[in-house]
């Protein structure tokens, strides 16, 4: 059962986003990007109060993803990417991104905070950041 509303076109959008943002970090890295996207839809907090769908989340500006804003969001959704997207839509959570709303790829080590959110950990090239339970209870 899905944890957010979606349609088939949005599954493919999420799959494309996951691939564009984290294909180099493998399937687990892509799943973590999916966690961040799904969390942004479910959160209704901070910069994500008006994000009601996967489409809203993928194309959010400002505050969205580099892939859609800097032009490398052109790859089609492959079946394996679509399958990964479905896992996150159905509620699969992957540490350290399970409650994260932000991630980025730093030059060096991960900072302790990003946009006032605590660093929840790093996976390969990306650092993940999660809000407090008090700020965003729907993420948890």
Q: Which tens digit of pLDDT belongs to each residue from 82-135?
A: 999 999 999 999 999 999 999 999 999 999 999 889 999 999 999 999 999 999
91-120 burial by CB neighbour count: b if 16+ within 10 A, else e? eebbebbbbbbbbeeeeeebeeebeebebb
The structural domains of the chain, with segments of one domain joined by +, span 8-139
* Residue 71 pLDDT greater than 80, yes or no: no
The domain defined by 8-139 folds into Arc Repressor Mutant, subunit A (1.10.10)
Q: Quote the pTM value.
A: 0.95
What does the pLDDT look like over 26-43, one tens digit per residue?
Answer: 999 999 999 999 999 999
């Amino acid at each position: 059962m899905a944890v957010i509303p979606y349609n088939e076109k949005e599954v493919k959008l999420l799959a494309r986003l996951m691939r564009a943002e984290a294909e180099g970090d493998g399937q687990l890295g892509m799943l973590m990007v999916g966690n961040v996207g799904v969390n942004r839809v479910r959160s209704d907090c901070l910069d994500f109060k008006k994000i009601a769908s996967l489409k809203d989340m993928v194309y959010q500006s400002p505050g969205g993803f580099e892939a859609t804003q800097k032009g490398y969001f052109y790859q089609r959704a492959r079946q394996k990417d679509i399958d990964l997207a479905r896992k996150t839509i159905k509620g699969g959570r992957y540490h350290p991104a399970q409650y994260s709303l932000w991630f980025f790829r730093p030059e060096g080590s991960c900072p302790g905070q990003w946009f006032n959110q605590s660093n929840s950990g790093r996976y390969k090239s990306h650092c993940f950041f999660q809000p407090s339970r008090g700020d965003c209870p729907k993420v948890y």
